[in-house]
Amino acid sequence: MKLSKLNIALVVAAGITACSSQQAPSGSLPAGVTFIEQHQPQGDVVAIPYQKFELANGLTVIVHEDHSDPLVHVDVTYHVGSAREELGKSGFAHFFEHMMFQGSENVADEEHFRIVTEAGGTLNGTTNADRTNYFQTVPVNQLEKMLWLEADRMGFFLDAVTQEQFDIQQATVKNERGQMVDNRPYGRLWERVSQAKYEFGHPYSWPVIGHMDDIDRTTMDDLKNFFLRWYGPNNATLTIGGAVTTKEVLELAEKYFGSIPRGPEVEAMAKSPAQLQENRYISMEDNVHLPLVFISVPTVYAGHPDAPALNVLADILGSGNNSMLYQSLVRPSLAVQASAGHNCMELACNFTMMALAHPAAGKNLADIEAIIRQNLAAIEERGVNDDDLNRAIAAIEARSIFGLQSVAGKVSQLAYNQTFFNQPDRIADILQAYQSVTEDDVMRVYRQYVQDKPGVIMSVVPRGQTHLIAAEDNYTPRVYDPEVDGTESKLADLPMRRATDTFDRSIQPEAAANPAVMVPDTWSMTLANGIEVLATENDETPTSSLLLKIPAGSYYNTTEQAGLASMLASMLNESTENYSTEDMSMALELLGSSVRISAGDKDINVFVSSLTSNLPQTLALVEEKLRRPAFTEEDFNRLKQQQLQGLEHSLKDGGYLASNAYRQLMYGDHSMAMPSGGTIDTITDMTLQDVQAFYQQQFKPAGGSLIAVSNLSQSELTPVLTSFLSDWQGSAESLAFEAPWPEVDTATVYLVHKDDSPHSEIRIGRRALTRDLTGDFYEAYLMNFVLGGNFNSRINLNLREDKGYTYGARSGFSGNEFAGVFTASASVRADVTAASIEEFIYELNRFRTDGITDEELAFMRSAVNQSEALRYETPNAKLGFMAQMQEFNAGPEFTRERNHIVETISQQRINELAAQYLDPAEMVIVVVGDVELVRPQLEALGYPIVEM
């Protein structure tokens, strides 16, 4: 879909009523398909065109035609999430999502991932409190195959599932909870707050991922009954977007889904925001560095007319540098972070406020809570100004337009809004709602829902520091007890449903020829200051995305300067000679633009996202940031303290510890071994003068690059870019060093201790290849694809799907022009740390000695080559592709060379690479975990052990 370059706010306001039509599409519909509505924007309205239909069995089908790229996105959303679970069976909706990838009657175990990957596509599924969705993005010639897959698990799932599959996924979900919740700092925050906020038995009182005891209690009968109750076509929406025709989609939808019988009728759940009579204080000790206070106050529900005004209120209180909480807590260094938000779900919304206390300030969480409440009281005095409303409107307008850049983004919006509001495209209504918000509305919702209203106040403090909590606990939630509350399910004896077909579903549909893929047409020029420009026109949305790369990354720092480039990037995000940090943030927000500055290995990267109509104003602000930074002591000291606290926090993260240890072993005492954010020692020693000196010495345009994706033509964009940074001159030192090869004992376990860790982080690897586009490095990537480079890889199927040791395991080559490594990694249960290492070593040795099979080689060829249709769809994807072209001074023809390599690489060549780089005897093994738990296991492996 293409949008013009007109002012979007005016267009939306003028065209809101001109979007929908009840006129049926031309041509006859397949039997059993009923037309519901057609939504076609008139003129330049910001909207997502679609047609909506319904099958006789109740399945809603939404089609969005977008022929800009040869791909299609397929989404099936079921209106069931954790809110529809039974008491004592929490986590089942999410567990069931896992089970739906384990095969169906005509699709073997693990085949769903394999089929989509081999088709060149991507896929996943997600669960929240209110819905579960499954989605695939594939080349458009694979549409029928995707509908066959989705229909098979909707209609033919139960007879295929086995107890073994059930047991494996039960273990996988428990691993996911351990890795993503129990072993993550503050990971149980939402779970504890929800448990205290909602009364016993409320559908939001338990976590989506579930309680471990409840997951253990699930049975195959639960699985069967959950499917029969909620997974009928009448409780689902099939949304398809891409280079398709509505006629084709309807014929295939009716063929594959039409015969699936309806499920039980599903009624809407009652809206049920929490009802609190007084503040509920709860607390917990956690393996964290910074104490956190979190306040949650019940408000309305998703779609309520007061939600936009509450969102504006949350922005005023706690969004960005201009917010009240930032000014009162973060700027004076009383907190490392502070924010507010208004979070909505189908049945309830909550107004939330949080702060991470700064230890150096000497404040406990009671002090921080008092400051938050002082800010709430000050809202009456402060009121609401025009900028508050305008920046909220600008943000929602920009998000709406940027959300149209991918077919997946548009399809997900259509599916969400149909599921919860029976109105697939709500962009115009949402924009109208925000444009209608007044100062009086914001103050009214503040008084009605937030002012002096009771909430849940949660304190999370480091272990042994309960004296820091905001207040003594005054509420203990009731916990499910099967002995008291019973275990009998209300879902029992539901009748089986069976489709009757006139065709053989066991035959997998054949895909047509691969679609023609158009590599972006690019043009280039060199600015007067030496910045090399590479650009392309992309007229699907009226937006511009730019990536400016200045050669001043962390590799330009010595080991004693680690973190200096990162600190410079942070300082460039602060005040300038003519703008305070707050004024700059406000100016960008009013434009609907974003500017992100960060430090990479070789470059400081400046990412700019703007509505094209506002691009000149946005670039003027970017130039102010880059050319006229204020470098104030106040900004530096605040950022320095925040970085130090962030590093302390990172030391509680097993993944961070594993990465640091692994880099040290790979690169020794060298800048490549240092974390980009620095260390506590290097940041402590850093001065503002160091940052200024590095800026003056290294932050120069010569050698830089600028990549642009815009709906402007070359003739239109050239003068904009030519005037950008036109008076900035100078060159700096080029990066020239050799990555060291430190002497390190291989076939050795390097052990790093992490207190009370239920999971262990594993890294197994070695130094390998420098990066290239079409040479040995790329061939090694192809070699690794079936070993550890996709979901169906040998490593992941072994450790996750067969053993249930982890939520995910992988391997791969990474590198740059100086050095590269091969790494196999996973986060595994602590009790199977040694067993997991054994399986890694087994798979490495098996692949090294036996090589790739004919079937695996064919799978890799198909998966890699067919994925090209997905590589250039969005502006960000184009930026990444063009960044590779610039880095390696290559033309777009390198993609043809890569395709040729994929088609012709021999089994012998892949096996040679495996033999050369996959010998475990030449690798190190890094383990981060609780030494007391894992060392006895590791000793049994027989490797030397070195504690780091």
Q: Quick one: average pLDDT of 23-32?
A: 77
Nearest residue to 269 via CA among 66, 151, 61, 129: 129
Q: Give start and end residues of each alpha helix (H) in 592-650.
A: 615-627, 633-650
The domain made up of 749-947 is a member of CATH 3.30.830.10:
yes
Q: Quick one: average pLDDT of 578-591?
A: 95
688-714 pLDDT per residue, tens: 999 999 999 999 999 999 999 999 999
Compute the C-alpha angle 819/734/779, nearest 5°: 30
Query: Which of 72-76, 511-515, 900-904 is least confident?
Result: 511-515
DSSP code per residue over 572-605: HTS-BSS--HHHHHHHHHHHT-EEEEEE-SS-EE
Give the pLDDT score at 534: 96
630-687 pLDDT per residue, tens: 999 999 999 999 999 999 999 988 999 999 999 999 999 999 999 999 999 999 999 9
| Helix or strand run (H / E) with residue 485 | helix 482-485
Going by pLDDT thresholds of 50, 70 and 90, the confidence category of residue 26 is low
220-230 and 163-177 are packed helices; what angle lies between their axes, rounded to 10 degrees? 90
- Per the document, the length of the chain is 948
Question: In the chain, where does the domain assigned CATH 3.30.830.10 lie?
Answer: 8-257, 280-468, 749-947
Question: Which of the 8 DSSP states describes residue 455?
Answer: -
Write out the two tokens for 543.
């937006």
Around Cβ 153, how many Cβ atoms within 10 Å?
A: 24
Q: Quick one: average pLDDT of 405-427?
A: 96
Nearest residue to 113 via CA among 91, 134, 139: 134
Instruction: Specify whether 97 is catalytic.
Output: yes
Q: Give start and end residues of each alpha helix (H) in 755-832.
A: 776-788, 794-796
Per-residue 3-state assignment (H helix, E strand, C coil) for 144-162: HHHHHHHHHHHHCCCCCCC
Whether pLDDT at 601 is above 70: yes
306-336 pLDDT per residue, tens: 999 999 999 999 998 889 999 999 999 999 9
In contact, 938 and 750? CB cutoff 8 Å: no
In contact, 299 and 447? CB cutoff 8 Å: no
Whether pLDDT at 906 is above 50: yes
Average of per-residue pLDDT values in the chain: 92
Write out the two tokens for 174.
């428990």
Tokens 């492996």 belong to 941
Going by pLDDT thresholds of 50, 70 and 90, the confidence category of residue 491 is confident
C-alpha span between 610 and 618 (Å, rounded): 7
Q: Which candidate in 85, 97, 801, 839 is catalytic?
A: 97
In terms of C-beta density within 10 A (0-12 exposed, 13-18 middle, 19 or more buried), how is residue 482 classed? exposed
Task: Give pTM, 2 decimals.
Answer: 0.91
Whether pLDDT at 835 is above 50: yes
Q: What is the SS3 assignment for 829? A: strand
Give the pLDDT score at 490: 80
144-169 pLDDT per residue, tens: 999 999 999 999 998 888 888 888 88
Whether pLDDT at 2 is above 60: no
375-389 pLDDT per residue, tens: 999 998 998 989 889
Greater pLDDT, 562 or 24: 562
Nearest residue to 257 via CA among 510, 55, 504: 55
848-899 pLDDT per residue, tens: 999 999 999 999 999 999 998 888 889 999 999 999 999 999 988 899 999 9
Give the pLDDT score at 25: 64
In contact, 1 and 540? CB cutoff 8 Å: yes
In contact, 40 and 23? CB cutoff 8 Å: no
**Amino acid occupying residue 509:** P
C-alpha span between 923 and 925 (Å, rounded): 7
Whether pLDDT at 5 is above 60: no
In contact, 673 and 664? CB cutoff 8 Å: yes
For the segment(s) 280-468, the CATH number from 3.60.15.10, 1.20.120.1770, 3.90.1310.10, 3.30.830.10 is 3.30.830.10
Give the pLDDT score at 181: 86
51-92 pLDDT per residue, tens: 999 999 999 999 999 999 999 999 999 999 999 999 999 998
- Longest CA–CA span in the chain (Å) reads 78
In contact, 532 and 526? CB cutoff 8 Å: yes
Going by pLDDT thresholds of 50, 70 and 90, the confidence category of residue 455 is very high
In terms of C-beta density within 10 A (0-12 exposed, 13-18 middle, 19 or more buried), how is residue 125 classed? middle
Compute the C-alpha angle 745/751/755, nearest 5°: 170
537-560 pLDDT per residue, tens: 999 899 999 999 999 999 999 999
In terms of C-beta density within 10 A (0-12 exposed, 13-18 middle, 19 or more buried), how is residue 303 classed? middle
Whether pLDDT at 21 is above 60: no
Whether pLDDT at 740 is above 90: no
In contact, 61 and 51? CB cutoff 8 Å: no
Going by pLDDT thresholds of 50, 70 and 90, the confidence category of residue 22 is low
Q: Quick one: average pLDDT of 781-796?
A: 96
In contact, 836 and 826? CB cutoff 8 Å: yes
Domain 8-257, what architecture? 2-Layer Sandwich (3.30)
C-alpha span between 219 and 605 (Å, rounded): 51
Give the pLDDT score at 360: 87
Greater pLDDT, 14 or 729: 729
